Structures are given as structure tokens and as C-alpha cells.
């Protein structure tokens, strides 16, 4: 058995042929199923939520079904990564699968909204370990140069989940009932659990004598929770200048500052701060945050534009995202293979940053006269940019640290992407709502009749008088213009940052030497 976790005795022959042994490929299939679980869940639940609220009630607590999951995922992500580094990844990863499946079963059995929110938190706790475990195990199993190809496949799985999630969710809800939106995770989780348990063989890790940094973990959890709540509630539940939001922001900043101080003293810190001394790792954290900011903001506000301005139904608006998602999937696969064949990667973040900036700028030009073909082309540009960046950020981050820090590198990169998505949805949403409201008022319409979030679906829009409908469509165009223009400005930071990435040739024998040579 090799130090990178490849499976003997097939490894030498497989490496000569440029292929991974069959047993490793089976494990990778199991890892993809696990990633599909984490990604597919939120996409499916979004479609089922109206039916869930109709049966359980509790409309006023609806947002917490998503928020509880997001909070638990974000707060637990770095802890899962560190536990894997200390105690070994296989057992920790299997534990996360069990917790996720248990949370899914309990969510499907929920009898009221309070129970559902609590069980979703359990599910999110497991989901935090799924994403980190997948990426860290890939880092253990696959040499750096081969890693790009497989992480490109992971990006393809993410795109597949975004495409298929709403369709699967609708079919399950209509055919079997909303509870099966959760129960569907059980057979998938069981398959992943069985495959990983029987086929995955990583080098045995001696139990570390270091104590877990409970104080650091607690402070980080408080800080992340406060930050996510600020971005979730700011501009929607509470005004940005309200005491609640300012108080949460203060708690978040104080907790993070305290966490950083504690980490400098801890014997076994949850996030070793020394990994940020590596230029490439820090840059990948920034790029990951921006990718999350842009991707989830686009996925949220593009369907809104398509439904409100272009008259698409909810289902069709999901299908109309195909140009973006397919281009992201194809480019991710191509970039992964090119990285594997050349061992080089610096050009990809630069191209990706440029395409994301261009794509968002083009989307910002859409108005009431923009047809679906044109918007589809713009989305394809944005998707291609995300494809260049999605998995390269994780690949370079893992290549920038020692093997002993693989888990915290994976979890930190995942955490920054999660926080970026939370900020993206919140900040772009606040700007969108403000511009829609201002545009309606400027046109002489009352903004008081707009629903929360300034969003109307196609059916509700059709009921408006023609003049009001035209005014609202113009306002939505104005709102998306502002949101996507802001996204383009944020993406420009990624484009500039990518030029400072240091090219370190990926090796086929493991990450040890490349991590050292990447330091700057």
C-alpha cells in the first residue's frame, strides 16, 4: 500500500498505464455518489417546499428549513476535516454518511415544521463531512497530477445535481409524496456506505495523542453561525442597520478574532494558520469564495429573470439553465484531463476569472427585449468560466499543503466557498430588491404591493394589469442588471488574483514535494 493511499498490488502497473486500479475507481464511484447526496439534497427540497408547507404549516419558519441545514454544514465543515486528519479519514467519512442518512430519514418522518428544522440541522451536520471527506480522500488516493481529471468529474456531478435536482424533486413530490424527497437519500447512502466500507483501504493512522481544540471549534462555530445569519437575515428579516444584524456582525467578528488568537496557541488547531502562509493556498481560498459568491447568486437570480421577464414556467426556468450547467460540466472535464496530461494549471484560473467576469457583464446587459437564445449564450460563457475554476481551486489548495493537512485544506476551501455562496445570495439579493423597489417607485407604481423579496412567478405576473406587468418586468431587468454588474466586479478580483498564482508542476508521486515548492 502506498503512502498516497493507492491500493496494492495493482498500483505499479496501473501507474505505468496512466490509469488508476479498478478498486480505486470503485471507491471514486462511491465518492461521487456521496457528493451527489450532498449536492442533490437542497435542489430536490427546493421543489418540494411548497407541498411541505401545505401539509406541515409553519410558513413563517420556511426559511429555517434551508438556514438550519446551511448553518450546520458550514459550522461542521472545518471540524470534520480536522477529525479526518487526526483519526483517519475512512471512519470519519463513514460516520458523516450515517449521520446524513439518519437526518434524511428523520426529516422524512417529521410531523411539524419544528421537527423538520431540527432534523435538517442533523442532515446538514452530516453533509459537512460528506463534501470534505470526498475531497480529502481523493487527495489521499490520487497523485496530484492525476487529481485534476477526477476532480473535474466531481464538478460534473455537481452540475448534474443542479440540472436533475429540481426535476427529480418534482417527480418524487408529485408521484410518491414530499417525504420521498428525503427518503431517496437512504438507498443512495446505503450504496455509498457499503462501497466505501468494503473497498476503501487507506494507510492506518495512529490515534493522535493531541487533544481536540474544543475552544477553537466552539469559537469558529459561533463566528460562522453569526456570519451566516447576518447574510441570511440582512435585508430580508431585518434591515442591514438594525440592532439584530449589527449585534450578530459584532459577535461574528469578535468570535473570529478570538478564534485566530486561540489557534496560535492550540497544540492541534482546528485550522492551522500556517497553511495560509502559502501564497497559492490563500489565493485559492479567495477564488473559492468568489466562485461560491458568483455561482449561487447566478443560479438564484437567472431563473427569476427568466420567469418574470421572459415568461418561463418554474420547471422551464430550471431547464433554461442548461447552457450554463452543461458548459460548466464539459469545461471541468476537459480542464481536468489537460491538467493531468500537462501537470500545469496556472492558465486555467486566469481564463476562468476572465470568462466569469465577461459572462456576468454580458448578463448584466439583459433587458425586457433579450431573447432566450442570447441569454443562453451569455450563461454558457459564465458556465465555462466556472468550469475553469470549480475544481482547480481545490486541486491547487491540496497541492499547497503537506499530506497531514489535507483534511483541513479541503475543509477550509469548502468553507470559503460555502461562505461565498451565502454572501452572494444575500448581497446580490439586497441589491436586486432595492433596485426593483426603486424602479417601481420611479415609474409611479406603489412598491407596497410587491411580495417579500420583490419576486413574482410567471403565474402571478400574468394576473397583473398589462401596464403594471410591463413596469414590473422593467424593474426586474433593472434589478438583475445591478446584481450581475456587482457580480462582475467581484469576479474581476478573481481574475486579477489568478495572475499571482505560482505555477508548481504537479507530480505523479504524491503531494509532499509540490507542497514545499509552492511556498512563497
Query: Over the stretch 22-65, which tens digit does the pLDDT of each residue have?
Result: 567 777 788 888 877 777 776 677 667 667 767 777 655 666 77
CB environment 72-97: b (16+ within 10 A), e (fewer): bbbbbbbbbbbbbbbbbbbebbbbbb
* CB-facing half-sphere around the CA of 157: CA atoms within 13 A: 23
Q: What is the CA 118 to chain-centroid distance, rounded?
A: 22
pLDDT at 10: 38
Q: Return d(Cα 318, Cα 321) in angstroms, integer.
A: 5
Asked if residues 226 and 67 have their Cβ atoms less than 8 Å apart, the reply is: no
3-state secondary structure of 238: strand
> Cβ atoms within 10 A of the Cβ of 257, count?
12
C-alpha cell recorded at residue 333:
472535464
Name the 3-class secondary structure at 465: coil
Sequence-separated (6 or more) residues with CB below 8 Å from residue 214? none
Low-confidence ranges of the chain (pLDDT < 50): 1-19, 447-449, 451-454, 509-520
pTM over 0.85: no
CA 106 to chain centre: 24
Residues comprising the chain, all counted: 520
DSSP secondary structure, 337-388, as one string: HHHHHH---THHHHHHHHHHHHHHHHHTT--TT--HHHHHHHHHHHHHHHHH
Q: Which three cell numbers stand for residue 271?
A: 485550522
pLDDT at residue 446, as a whole number: 54
User: Do 274-520 and 16-212 fall under one CATH topology?
Assistant: yes
Break the chain into its structural domains and give their ranges.
Answer: 16-212, 214-266, 274-520
Alpha-carbon distance of 362 to 383, in angstroms, equals 13
> What distance in Å separates the CA atoms of residue 205 and residue 203, rounded to the nearest whole number?
6
pLDDT of residue 105: 92
The Cα 77–Cα 407 span in angstroms is 10
Q: 238 - beta bridge partners?
A: 234
pLDDT of 474 reads 83
d(CA 38, CA 47): 16
**Contact predicate 424/294, CB 8 Å:** yes
Half-sphere exposure of 256 (CA within 13 A, CB side): 13
Q: In terms of Cα–Cα distance, which of 243, 248, 257 is closest to 228?
A: 248
Supply the DSSP symbol for 455: -
C-alpha–C-alpha distance, residues 277 and 267, integer Å: 18
Question: Which CATH class, in words, describes the domain spanning 274-520?
Answer: mainly alpha
One of 3.40.309.10, 2.40.50.460, 3.40.50.300, 1.20.1250.20 is the CATH number of 16-212, namely 1.20.1250.20
Residue ranges in 88-179 assigned as alpha helix (H): 89-108, 113-141, 144-175
Read off the pLDDT of residues 254-300 as tens digits, 9 standing for 90 and up: 999 999 998 888 877 888 888 888 899 999 999 989 988 887 777 77
Amino acid at each position: 500500500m502506498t503512502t498516497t493511499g493507492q491500493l496494492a498490488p495493482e498500483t505499479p502497473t496501473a501507474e505505468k498505464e496512466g490509469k488508476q486500479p479498478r478498486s480505486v475507481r470503485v471507491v471514486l464511484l462511491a465518492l461521487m455518489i456521496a457528493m451527489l447526496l450532498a449536492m442533490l439534497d437542497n435542489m430536490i427540497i427546493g421543489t418540494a417546499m411548497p407541498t411541505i408547507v401545505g401539509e406541515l404549516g409553519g410558513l413563517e419558519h420556511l426559511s429555517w428549513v434551508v438556514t438550519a441545514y446551511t448553518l450546520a454544514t458550514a459550522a461542521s465543515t472545518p471540524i470534520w476535516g480536522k477529525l479526518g486528519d487526526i483519526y483517519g479519514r475512512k471512519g470519519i467519512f463513514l460516520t458523516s454518511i450515517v449521520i446524513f442518512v439518519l437526518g434524511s430519514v428523520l426529516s422524512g418522518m417529521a410531523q411539524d415544521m419544528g421537527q423538520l428544522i431540527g432534523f435538517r440541522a442533523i442532515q446538514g451536520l452530516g453533509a459537512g463531512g460528506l463534501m470534505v471527506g470526498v475531497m480529502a480522500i481523493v487527495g489521499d488516493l490520487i497523485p496530484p497530477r492525476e487529481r485534476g481529471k477526477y476532480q473535474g468529474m466531481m464538478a460534473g456531478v455537481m452540475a448534474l445535481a443542479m440540472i436533475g435536482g429540481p426535476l427529480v424533486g418534482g417527480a418524487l413530490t408529485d408521484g410518491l409524496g414530499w417525504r420521498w424527497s428525503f427518503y431517496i437519500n437512504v438507498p443512495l447512502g446505503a450504496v455509498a456506505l457499503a462501497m466505501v466500507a468494503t473497498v476503501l483501504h487507506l494507510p492506518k493512522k495512529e490515534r493522535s495523542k493531541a487533544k481536540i481544540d474544543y475552544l477553537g471549534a466552539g469559537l469558529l462555530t459561533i463566528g460562522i453561525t453569526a456570519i451566516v445569519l447576518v447574510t441570511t437575515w440582512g435585508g430580508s428579516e431585518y434591515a442591514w442597520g438594525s440592532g439584530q444584524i449589527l449585534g450578530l456582525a459584532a459577535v461574528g467578528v469578535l468570535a473570529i478574532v478570538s478564534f485566530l488568537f486561540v489557534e496560535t496557541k492550540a497544540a492541534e488547531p482546528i485550522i492551522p494558520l500556517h497553511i495560509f502562509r502559502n501564497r497559492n493556498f490563500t489565493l485559492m481560498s479567495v477564488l473559492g469564495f468568489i466562485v461560491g459568491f458568483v455561482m449561487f447568486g447566478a443560479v438564484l437570480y437567472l431563473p427569476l429573470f427568466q420567469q418574470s421577464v421572459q415568461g418561463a414556467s418554474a420547471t422551464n426556468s430550471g431547464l433554461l439553465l442548461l447552457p450554463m450547467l452543461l458548459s460548466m460540466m464539459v469545461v471541468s472535464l476537459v480542464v481536468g484531463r489537460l491538467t493531468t496530461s500537462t501537470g500545469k494549471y496556472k492558465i486555467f484560473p486566469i481564463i476562468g476569472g476572465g470568462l466569469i467576469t465577461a459572462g456576468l457583464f454580458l448578463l448584466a446587459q439583459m433587458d425586457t427585449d433579450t431573447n432566450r437564445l442570447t441569454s443562453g449564450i451569455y450563461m454558457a460563457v459564465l458556465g465555462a468560466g466556472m468550469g475553469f475554476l470549480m475544481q482547480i481551486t481545490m486541486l491547487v489548495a491540496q497541492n499547497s499543503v503537506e499530506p497531514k493537512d489535507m483534511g483541513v485544506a479541503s475543509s477550509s476551501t469548502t468553507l470559503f466557498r460555502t461562505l461565498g455562496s451565502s454572501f452572494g445570495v444575500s448581497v446580490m439579493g439586497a441589491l436586486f430588491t432595492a433596485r426593483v423597489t426603486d424602479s417601481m417607485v420611479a415609474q409611479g407604481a406603489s412598491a407596497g404591493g410587491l411580495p417579500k423579496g420583490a419576486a413574482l412567478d410567471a403565474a402571478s405576473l400574468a394576473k397583473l394589469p398589462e401596464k403594471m406587468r410591463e413596469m414590473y418586468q422593467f424593474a426586474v431587468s433593472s434589478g438583475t442588471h445591478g446584481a450581475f454588474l456587482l457580480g462582475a466586479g467581484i469576479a474581476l478580483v478573481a481574475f486579477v488574483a489568478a495572475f499571482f498564482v505560482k505555477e508548481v508542476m504537479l507530480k505523479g508521486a504524491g503531494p509532499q514535494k509540490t507542497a514545499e515548492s509552492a511556498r512563497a
